[in-house]
Amino acid sequence: MDTIFAQATAPGKAGVAIVRLSGPKAWVAIETMCSGLPEPRVVGLRELHGRDGLLDTALVVVFEDGASFTGENVAELHLHGSSAVVSAILAELSSLDGLRHAEPGEFTRRALENGCLDLAQVEGLADLIDAETEAQRRQAIRVLSGELGEKAEGWRQGLIRAAALIEASIDFADEDVPVNVTPEVDDILRRVLNELECEIEGVGFSERVRTGFEVAIVGAPNVGKSTLLNALAGREAAITSEIAGTTRDVIEVRMDLGGLPVTILDTAGLRDTDDPVESIGVEKAQARAKSADLRIFLVDVDGSPAFEPIARDIVVASKADLIGESSEGVSGRTGQGLPKLIEMIQSRISELAGQSGIATRERHRFAMSSASGSLRDALVNLESGEVYELVAEDIRSAIRSLDSLIGRVDVEMLLDDIFLSFCIGK
């Protein structure tokens, strides 16, 4: 296997830059550049020399095979963070036999192949690198820590027990089996199925924490939607005008509200119009608003929502500054009622986020849904009491689906796409 190397920190000038190596020649390569390696997991100060003399004075740390991120011999060079120093080190490593530049995500891919991470943890690591809000960080840490893998392994062990009981009944069908295994198998299958279905229900909300919740501002033309969007964003994100129909496309502003990722949508004013372009905007606005996680209906003092809100939606009077300071409405122009509205949005979104589970991706949902479908089939066949072979095959199918969840089987086609999202040094 090749020894790979790459800069593990962002390119450009910095106080410190880290170059990482992994593979059978990682330690040997560093030894050729300095006078002796420090003990594993002990940082040592070393002068690094190349073909043309001193390259840098750096901190060197090595990790032994089986006790590193990749599961291989790993070495890290903590260098002075100038582009010139990093370039000189990388050029020196390139000149050594058996070393090559790492591909995107190759360090993490080796960690997966060497059993240091399961596939769900790899996805959690990718999410952690991309995390922009506190909620995203917490969720990614849960997945990276192996919670989903532990759950999947618990389900898997239960199903293996159930399969073993069924197989025993099949093998000794012509003999007197002292215990009826059906009640225990039924109990195991129902327990795992219930837990799977609970986790499946939370995937949509977990995915929203990862990608962002959508909050649509909905109302008639000139009700103050764009002004409110600008007030929430703290900048002129949307054009405001007294002319009805100014907003014709959906305008999006990404925000961090209470540690949760939220995209605020300013939609076209909802009204009947003969303008074909505006009518397209109205149709898009309605469709996007109805698919959003939360809607803020801006209405005139005596007005009503453009379409029926659901329980968690917010209906609020607009242009409160023209109504009076005692108004319960909101004004994007003066900020009146804005803190209360933001608090309401955060509360509603936090309730949705609280329904999230550990599984965070559509791939997870698909694997768990496949497993739950197999378990439902197994329960039907078990209740019939006639064909235990079908029960055994259904359980095996559920186990295979759980194996794909954490990357044991049938995931090769996914790996390239997953690892291309990583930076080179990860």
Q: What pLDDT is attached to residue 244?
A: 43
Please report, rounded to a whole number, the percentage of residues in the chain having pLDDT higher than 90: 41
> How many residues comprise the chain?
426
Q: What is the pLDDT of residues 143-160, one digit of tens each?
A: 999 999 999 999 999 999
Q: What pLDDT is attached to residue 246?
A: 43
Q: What is the pLDDT of residues 388-415, one digit of tens each?
A: 889 989 999 999 999 988 877 655 545 5
158 φ, ψ to 5°?
-65, -40
Given a contact cutoff of 8 angstroms between Cβ atoms, the answer to whether 267 and 142 are in contact is no
> Among 102-116, 211-225, 366-380, which stretch is predicted with the lowest mean pLDDT?
211-225
pTM for the whole structure:
0.76
pLDDT of residue 68 exceeding 70: yes
Residue 230 — very low, low, confident or very high, per pLDDT cuts 50/70/90?
A: confident
Chain-centroid distance of CA 59 in Å reads 33
Q: What pLDDT is attached to residue 287?
A: 80
Given a contact cutoff of 8 angstroms between Cβ atoms, the answer to whether 230 and 247 are in contact is no
| Dist. CA 314–CA 26, nearest whole Å | 58
Query: What single-letter DSSP state applies at residue 3?
Result: E
Q: What is the pLDDT of residues 245-271, one digit of tens each?
A: 444 466 888 888 888 888 888 876 665
Q: What is the pLDDT of residues 44-58, one digit of tens each?
A: 999 999 988 999 999
> Among 40-44, 105-109, 317-321, 416-420, which stretch is predicted with the lowest mean pLDDT?
416-420
Higher pLDDT, 296 or 173: 296
Residue 368 — very low, low, confident or very high, per pLDDT cuts 50/70/90?
A: very high
Range 88-100 average pLDDT: 94
317 φ, ψ to 5°?
-75, 140
